[in-house]
Structure 1
Amino acid sequence: MSIRVLLVEDVKATHQLITELLDFVGGFELIGTCTTESGALVWLHDHPGEADLVILDLMLREGSGFSVLAGAARGQAAKVVVFSDFASPAVVRKCRAQGALDAISKSDYRQLRVFLEKHRGEPAEAG
């Protein structure tokens, strides 16, 4: 069974990189993409429980990934991993405190691959 992924990323090159990584690692199905905070919140509202994993950027074309993280934490069974240029130690702590499994710097692409390899085959439990 594939893990269903919602990708919230507004930079086209990064979106493509993550899409290719999901294919490379295997076991993931990209079921939705959003480029803005409002788009991601609407997607989560309109598709409750459909995504097992949200890959989330913090700095979006419109809005903030922190609002999406808070929205995902309210009533969603999806796991969230933050993938951002702004994953300082303080931001990592804040993301984890708000329910993210991890926050990974975009400068550490390998760490995202390790995260995906660890979590593939572990769909979110209904809660």
Structure 2
Amino acid sequence: MRLRIFLVEDSPVIRNALSESLEELVGARMVGWASTEEEASKWLADNPTAWDLSVVDLFLLQGSGLNVVKSCSNRELRQKIVVLTGYATPQMRQRCLAAGADAVFDKSTEIDEFTNYAINEVERVQGGTRY
């Protein structure tokens, strides 16, 4: 089974590059995307079991990625929420984790760490690790 990713990102350039990278590097499958808080929260609520990993940016065309993270508080334990942002200050990392994010990565300095996280998620979903 391939890792199913839902992406919350308002920049088409970043969204396309990230989608291609995740599909190519980790063998993930993009199941959808949203560019606003409302679109993201609605899709996640309407498709509660259709995703394994949601990658969320904090700054969206409308609303906040932090609220998207909060809206997923009833997700299954196997489902992970990752914040991928250009604003990963220590205080914002704390807020994201307190809101329910499983991890927070900086877009500009932690792409390798994010990619490794996604690879580990693929292995976990496929049963290749001890998780």
Q: Do Structure 1 and Structure 2 share a fold, with TM-score over 0.5?
A: yes
TM-superposed deviation, 1:57: 0.3
The runs of at least 4 consecutive aligned structure 1 residues that moved more than 4 Å come to none
Provide the secondary structure at the position in 1 that maps to 2:88: coil
TM-superposed deviation, 1:2: 0.7
Query: How far apart, in 2, do the equivalents of 1:55 and 1:88 lie?
Result: 18
Query: How far apart, in 2, do the equivalents of 1:21 and 1:113 lie?
Result: 9
- Structure 1: which amino acid aligns with 2:12? K
Query: How far apart, in 2, do the equivalents of 1:29 and 1:11 lie?
Result: 19
Identity %, equivalent residues: 30
The unaligned stretches of length 5 or more in structure 1 are: none
Query: How far apart, in 1, do the equivalents of 2:10 and 2:85 lie?
Result: 11
Query: How far apart, in 2, do the equivalents of 1:118 and 1:44 lie?
Result: 22
Equivalent residue, structure 2, for 1:8: 8
Equivalent residue, structure 2, for 1:23: 23
TM-superposed deviation, 1:24: 2.4
Query: How far apart, in 1, do the equivalents of 2:97 and 2:27 lie?
Result: 24
Equivalent residue, structure 1, for 2:87: 86
The answer on 1:102 being equivalent to 2:103 is: yes
Equivalent residue, structure 2, for 1:54: 54
Query: How far apart, in 2, do the equivalents of 1:122 and 1:99 lie?
Result: 20
The unaligned stretches of length 5 or more in structure 2 are: 126-131
TM-superposed deviation, 1:90: 1.2
TM-score (norm 2): 0.87
Query: How far apart, in 2, do the equivalents of 1:119 and 1:93 lie?
Result: 22
How many residues align? The count is 122
Equivalent residue, structure 1, for 2:128: none
* Aligned alpha-carbon RMSD (Å): 1.2
Deviations 1:88-109 (A, max 9, x none): 1111122112221111111022
TM-score (norm 1): 0.89
Provide the secondary structure at the position in 2 that maps to 1:45: helix
- Structure 1: which amino acid aligns with 2:63? G
